[in-house]
Chains A and B, each alone.
Chain A
Amino acid sequence: MTEALALAYIPARMTELGHTAYSLRLRHYLLGAKKKLKIHGEGQLFLLLEPDCMISVNSDSGVFDLTETNINELSYEHQGSIRIRNYSAVPISVKFIQVIPKKETPCQQ
């Protein structure tokens, strides 16, 4: 997924989920050779941007792994507990757009 597609996709998806206010963060993770990473993304959306072919992203809502032959569909939208794995022997970076829903009630001063 490209940045442009993600930015066009997010408003429609968040409206569908019932959130009118949300924050965006660009997360760029660096994974060393054969390293794993776990992200706690409960209540948020993580959109995978232009992934490398040697990474595996496994979450509560889907899988992205180009090396896996037992999958019938790849997912670019992830949420919940997200496990990232670098299959490569060299460091790899993984980019996400993180969508954090805001509370609808304004903060009391």
Chain B
Amino acid sequence: MKEQLTIIPIRITKAGQQYSFQHKLPRSAEKIIGIETGVIMRSPLPLIAGNGIRQFKREVMLGSLRLQANGSSNLFYAADIKADDNSIIQGEFIHAPGPAGQPGFPFFDFKVCTHGTKREEEPLDIPGCSIVSGIYRDNTGLLFTNPVHYHINIYVWTSNLPA
């Protein structure tokens, strides 16, 4: 089985933006086997204070995504798009938080896992569709006063028909 990846880019520039899209899958695509999402921030997020020395910060939900395929599968995927995974640094030595309500020391304030994380798509099995349509609703208008610019890439993994 040969797999193929297509990318649906979304650019969000306004707070509360709602972006509808339609994406044609390749003719050779037999079925959708996975969906993966990624975020590229184009403007910094406003600082959110943690709750004390442990710096438990809630994750910023940028918006919600819903995907729909033509055919009987209809609405097949819904996800919350988050700016960052804050739980990734908990218990990691590399992260040195600052005093309560303050950011960590710049040199140590890496929000990365020391061993890295493996990104994987969410497995699906959606046969017989040729178009993926969807809607993305931005949530940052409810959280911040200033607009936050970011790009979202939706990675659609498909398996191909045998040649």
List chain A positions with a Cβ less than 8 A from chain B.
Answer: 16-18, 60-63, 68, 70-73, 75, 79-80
Q: For the complex, would chain A's binding face be called helix, strand, loop or mixed by DSSP majority?
A: loop
- In the assembled complex, the CB of A58 is this many whole angstroms from the nearest CB of chain B, namely 9
Question: Contacts A16-B70, A61-B135, A62-B135 known; A70 to B17 CB distance under 8 Å?
Answer: yes
A-B contact count (CB 8 A): 39
Question: Contacts A61-B66, A61-B68 known; A73 to B75 CB distance under 8 Å?
Answer: no
Q: How far, in whole Å, are A61 and B135 apart by their CA atoms in the complex?
A: 7
- In the assembled complex, the CB of A70 is this many whole angstroms from the nearest CB of chain B, namely 4
Instruction: Pull 19 A–B residue pairs with CB atoms less than 8 Å apart, ordered by A.
Output: A16-B71, A17-B71, A17-B72, A60-B66, A61-B66, A61-B75, A62-B20, A62-B135, A63-B18, A68-B18, A70-B17, A71-B17, A71-B18, A72-B18, A72-B19, A75-B135, A79-B74, A79-B75, A80-B75
**Contact indicator B74/A17 (Cβ below 8 Å):** yes
